[in-house]
Chain A
Amino acid sequence: MLKADQKDKDKLIKPLFETGRTYWVTIAILLAIIGWALYMYYRQLTLGMKVTGMQRPVYWGVYMVNFIFFIGISHAGTLISAILRVTGAEWRRPITRVAEAITAFALIVGSLQIIIDMGRPDRLLSVILNGRLQSPILWDVLSVTAYFLGSITYLYLPVIPDAALLRDNLPPYSPAWRKRLYSIMALGWRGNRTQWIRLEKAIAVMAVLIIPIAVSVHTIISWILATTVQPGWHSTIFGPYFVVGAIFSGIGALFIAMTIVRWKLKLEEYITEKQYNNLGLIFITMSAVWMYFTYAEHMIITAGQEVYEFPVLTSKLWGDYAVSFWVMVALMVVSFWIMVIPRLISKTAKRFLVFQPRFTTGAVLLAVVTGYYLVTDSTIPGLSGINPETLFFLVRGSLLVELLFVGLGVAKWFKTRLVAATTVAGVMVVIGMWLERWNIIIPTMTHPYLVSWAEYHPTITEVALTAGSVALFIFMFLVFFKLFPIISIWEVAEGRVIDAERAKVTIPMPEASGIKERLRGKGIRKARG
């Protein structure tokens, strides 16, 4: 008999057996969306791919965007649990399970996109029977298979002790099938020394193995595009660019999941600001690297003077895809801003006028007015005498300054609201990364070499299947966490013990090293702790 902590019992085990109305309503809504998507997919099967917005030359559309996007999201789990486990970051403990679940489910939904996109899904098995290793699709089959099996195992291994805990700590009113489920899942877990040591070894090996596999997965997905000679795709930067983007969007998705779970199950004691803060720092790094890659990719096309790549670039900068491109850039810049600037502002910043709410409100109002004049192109009263060219820069310049002030005010507001800031940034990045995939695939598809340039508008079928995919992802997430604790109970308990042990250890100050003198020189009298 394994005994769970009373706190874990109340906070983590009890919610598994008590289901509120909101849960069932959410499940019902998700099932309705999935049902709609299934019907639309059935139509696509019977009528053919003509129900999509795809055509010649836009042979790949939203399905391919979703594929790259979801596989990208799946990189959340690898990063958090594997890299943090390998480097021994203690704060990872409460969020590993959520991250690993995102990986497994995003991979399922992502791989599904390929089947949805196939003209002949009935011939899927042909990829195995007639698979040719020269095709990047086969590389994908290999690496996604390895990644999927690996991440399912990686999700399951830490579940074993928790399943045993659940088996032994079931509330009296739980149905019999649950006892059976946990007994099977626990694989006869007893929790003796040999089992623990073996489990920890297995997890440690998996954590190391899964990192290169994860890197290979998104690299190979980028190579599906980069191994063609299409304008804008044939680039060596795509591999690392996609991997960074994948990890970036994965953390974004993890932030959203963490916040919802924390808020719904009231897990503030488990998922603390520390997780948000530390993960936020990784997020900021990824954001910076992503921006660097994005800049590099477009910069080199600009300098390359390639007649076929230029139209792709200009369609993004000021052509058909300017909206999706600049919205993406804006989302990334704003998310970076609300993650970085609040960390830089002093707590006492309220002394300054620019950080006061009334100033920000004023800036918002001014920005709205300026924006209105800019969009409607109407004349500004009192300024009709000014040279139009001067006015052009004046209006845009003042809008920029106003937005800067709004940004500073917002940053001050987010200063004391780390969770809110992080979650907002997560949402922005998830949307931004979907747009990024769109901006990579569609402009190249619509601007091919010889075929006349085209437009692409997704149809209701594609919208339905995208919505259905997102719904399926959330559905799997909800069902899984109704059955298994959202936080790895044993890992958090282990972390508590480690913290307690650490708190006991005191390191005496070395007398002879001169550290004391140096500290005193800096005005510090006693070492803390």
Chain B
Amino acid sequence: MHLDYPDNPLIEFLYWLINTPGLGGIMASVVGGGILLAVGATLRWISKGGQALEPEEFAYPTPALHSHEDTG
């Protein structure tokens, strides 16, 4: 009944990966931290967009805004 895994370094490595306490936390931190960094960067990018030298301001996207999309 007992599952005997083949003696394969890859399988041993994968088992070590899932079975070692702490690695899960590192992975969670990487995922969480990565998302936070990406979100922060995106928000900065959007905010920085305000520095472009464009006189028009739109309260909401209008066809006038989108018609220039291909050129801008």
Contact = CB atoms under 8 A, between A and B. Distances in A.
Do A and B touch (CB < 8 Å)? yes
A277 B35 CA distance: 36
Nearest to B29: A128
A196 B65 contact: yes
B59 interface: yes
A3 B22 contact: no
Contact of A132 (B23, B58, B65): B23
Majority SS at the chain A contact face: helix
A28 interface: no
Interface residues of A, number: 48
B20 interface: yes
A129 to B, nearest CB: 6
Given A193-B54, A497-B60, A188 B47 contact: yes
A130 interface: yes
Given A133-B17, A192-B57, A187 B43 contact: yes
Contacts of B72: 193-194, 197
A395 interface: no
Contact of B46 (A138, A187, A490, A491): A187
B61 A134 contact: no
Contacts of A489: 60
Interface residues of B, number: 39
A149 interface: yes
B65 A193 contact: yes
A494 interface: yes
Nearest to B72: A193
A130 B39 CA distance: 27
A153 B58 CA distance: 22
Interface in B35-72: 35-36, 39, 42-43, 45-47, 49-50, 52, 54, 56-63, 65, 68-69, 72
Contact of B32 (A132, A145, A194): A145
Contacts of B22: 129-131
Given A194-B72, A197-B69, A130 B21 contact: yes
B24 A161 contact: no
B18 interface: yes
A489 B36 CA distance: 27
Contacts of B11: none
A85 to B, nearest CB: 14
Contacts, number: 137
B9 interface: no
Contacts of A193: 52, 54, 56, 58, 65, 68, 72
Contacts of B61: 196, 200, 490, 494, 497
A522 B68 CA distance: 44
Interface in A1-52: 1-4
A105 to B, nearest CB: 19
Contacts of B24: 127, 130-133, 135, 138, 141-142
B19 interface: yes
Contacts of B43: 187
A190 interface: yes
Interface string A149-193: 110010001001100010000000000000000000001111111
A420 interface: no
A339 B11 CA distance: 52
A150 B35 contact: yes
Contact of B50 (A128, A157, A195, A490): A195
A146 interface: yes
Interface in A367-387: none
B31 A194 contact: no
Interface of B: 17-29, 31-32, 35-36, 39, 42-43, 45-47, 49-50, 52, 54, 56-63, 65, 68-69, 72
Interface of A: 1-4, 127-135, 138, 141-142, 145-146, 149-150, 153, 157, 160-161, 165, 187-200, 202, 489-491, 493-494, 497-498, 501
